[in-house]
Amino acid sequence: MPQRLIKAQKRGQSLVNDNNWTEFKKLIDQVDKAYDEMA
């Protein structure tokens, strides 16, 4: 798994812990884009 996806996973976890769903959704969108670029 690429390093930036591991970072995104850790960041996502801390956003969930903070109940920061707006930022979490942005993060998910970025991760989706990253997967599209790799495919």
Output the DSSP codes for 1-39.
Answer: --HHHHHHHHHHHHHHHTT-HHHHHHHHHHHHHHHHHH-
User: Cα separation of 23 and 7, whole Å?
Assistant: 15
According to the model, what pLDDT value does residue 39 have? 76
State the pTM of this model: 0.67
Per residue in 2-36, pLDDT (tens digit) is 788 889 899 999 999 999 999 999 999 998 998 89
